[in-house]
Amino acid sequence: MSTTTPAAPPAPPRAPKAALFHPTVARLTYRALLGRRRALILFALPTLLVVLAIAVRALANADDSTAGGILGGFALGTMVPLIGVIAGTGAIGPEIDDGSVVYLLAKPVTRPTIIFTKLLVAIGVTVVFSSLPVLLAGYLLNGNSQQMAVGYAVAAAIASVAYSALFLLFGTLTRHAVVFGLVYALVWEALMGTLIPGAKTLSVQQWALAVGQRVAAEGAITSDVGLPTAICLLVGLTVVATWYAGRRLKSLTLTGEE
């Protein structure tokens, strides 16, 4: 084997650059997210939504309430949180599970930078796979009557940010992040959120709908949470979850195989 000559004496260790985004971390995360089998769900759910919209439009006279049912019930209630689970947990969980995260951690890149970059990728993927299909389905259903398509698409985008942060945190907390994410998305958001009034206040879906409500025509989208409360909770959740995920990664220990 050939050899290399060591470089000049290295400089003493210095703090890495404080940029919060690293393009290489983003590229690895993005490719890992879309390269796994579970990424099929990322394509399947939006496709299902669009097909559903086309079918409803073709077979029935899609009115605003039908559009509201599909966009609010299936899209915001089920599809967006599920895509959030896939993208949020998938952005970091598998790397921690299989130990390949060591190649990111053993670099002069700060751990908050790694988390923040992964969050941006998760948000990007969730927005692309949830907000855009919602917009398209909305136009297909009722031609954006009462700004419903735009309102729900904005709500989906807002929810994408909070879900990504929350599920990314799950990915740093537990090996069973997907299970916990699914329980949260399906049991809490989809079931409890619709049945128990108190649970609605603590639902990302309701916070996002409060923003969508503001965008759409009056009465087209409804939320059980006021806009100021919703915005405070959305920002609070996103910031705290991201900060804590950064802390978790900072203290992440690898115990080897002994």
Partner 1 sequence: MTHLSIDHVSRWFGNVVAVNDITMSIGPGVTGLLGPNGAGKSTLINMMGGFLAPSNGTVTLDGATIWRNAGIYRHIGIVPEREAMYDFLTGREFVVANAELHGLGRAEAARALATVEMEYAQDRKISTYSKGMRQRVKMASALVHDPSVLLLDEPFNGMDPRQRMQLMELLRQMGDQGRTVLFSSHILEEVEQLASHIEVVVAGRHAASGDFRKIRRLMTDRPHRYLIRSDNDRALAGALIADPSTAGIEVDLAEGALRVQAVDFGRFTELLPRVAREHGIRLLTVSPSDESLESVFSYLVAA
Residue ranges that bind partner 1, judged by CB under 8 A: 1-7, 10-17, 22-25, 27-28, 31-32, 35, 98-100, 102-111, 250-258
CB nearer to partner 1: pick between 197 and 256:
256
**Tokens at 241, concatenated:** 């979850």
In angstroms, what is the minimal distance from the CB of 5 to partner 1? 7
The tokens of 206 are what? Answer: 């309701």
**What DSSP line would sit under 109-130, residue for residue?**
S-HHHHHHHHHHHHHHHHIIII
Taking the complex as a whole, the smallest distance from the CB of residue 28 to partner 1 amounts, in Å, to 6
d(CA 41, CA 217): 32
Least spacing, CB of residue 172 vs partner 1, in Å: 15
DSSP 187: I
Closer by beta carbon to partner 1, 178 or else 190: 178
Distance, CA of 156 to CA of 152 (rounded, Å): 6
Integer CA distances (angstroms), 210 to 68, 72, 171, 213, 229, in order: 14, 12, 27, 5, 9
Of the two residues 5 and 61, which places its CB atom closer to partner 1 in the complex?
5
**Please, which residue, 25 or 225, has the CB nearer to partner 1?**
25
Nearer to partner 1, 23 or 197 (CB): 23
Smallest distance, partner 1 to C-beta of residue 115, A: 13
Whichever of 93 and 212 has its CB closer to partner 1, that residue is 93
Closest distance of CB 104 from partner 1, Å = 7
Closest approach of partner 1 to the CB of residue 160, in Å:
24
Tell me which residue of 82, 64, 78 sits closest to 222, measured CA to CA: 64
CA distances (Å), origin 65, targets 8, 76, 220: 71, 15, 8
- The three-class DSSP label of residue 211 is helix
